[in-house]
Amino acid sequence: MPIYYGTQIDSPLMLGTAQYPSPAVLAEAFRRSGAGIATVSVRREARGARAGDGFWALIRELGVHILPNTAGCHSVREAVTTAQMAREIFATDWIKLEVIGHSDTLQPDPFGLVEAARILCGEGFKVFPYTTEDLVVAERLLEAGCEVLMPWGAPIGTGLGLNNVYGLRSLRAHFPDLPLVVDAGLGLPSHAAHAMELGYDGVLLNTAVARAGDPAAMAEGFARALEAGRLAHGADPMEPRDMAAPSTPVIGQAFLS
């Protein structure tokens, strides 16, 4: 099971808490998935409304680790301020850091992300940066103090899966001992299984579950796929090949002329 900043988590699945049709459906999705971490929008809780209080009570009842996020932040100052608010609201140093650089693709701003990560790590935060699969950006984030990286699979909410398998595989190979989590863009359990087959430690998703016709069933499907992918990676799978190879031995068979 994955270990983030010295804390072992019982599941490779991180599950978001937005867009569910009801609190009961959200709770059932977490129960059936066994997700070990819930990501929570800081902005929703910062409103201080009665509905926000009820939501926070529900999250506490889930009995999972809380990972606040700076979703929607487009500048370093905004992201740092939101993270500081999160530490007060949720009483945790964990923060999923998002600094969005492109409004259409919601691609992270690599320059702002590294700067914000350096500030927050210096303030004692345990930063989970939402980033791309770029190796240079990854190096800069590690230099800033991050001990986990969360590269995107595809743009947030698209359900496209792993758009750049080569890049994700290269990131895993370059940092063999670093906790890596595929964050965003997954739409099907098979996408999650693929991430685990590449050797990733976990996945983070929200829309694929929350917007499914049966969110709880989809959450369970992702959990099972993650286990399958983890087992496959650990089993040292065969390498793909260009030529066919018979699976039935031909030695000892009769040959008719």
Active site residues: 96
The phi-psi region of residue 252 (left if phi > 0; otherwise alpha if psi is between -120 and 50; otherwise beta) is left
Structural contact between residues 176 and 202, judged by C-beta atoms closer than 8 angstroms: no
- In Å, how far are 25, 66, 76, 82, 115 from 122, measured between CA atoms? 38, 21, 14, 16, 11
206 is in an annotated binding site: yes
Residue 157 assigned as binding residue: yes
Residue 198, C-beta contacts closer than 8 angstroms, at least 6 positions apart: 162, 165, 168, 169, 172, 233
CB neighbour list of residue 213: distance below 8 Å, 6 or more residues apart: none
User: CB count, 10 Å around CB of 213?
Assistant: 6
Q: Do the annotations mark residue 163 as ligand-binding?
A: no
CA 17 to chain centre: 13
- Answer yes or no: is 207 a known binding residue: yes
184 is in an annotated binding site: yes
Q: Binding site for 1-deoxy-D-xylulose 5-phosphate: which residues?
A: 157, 184-185, 206-207
Q: Binding site: which residues?
A: 157, 184-185, 206-207
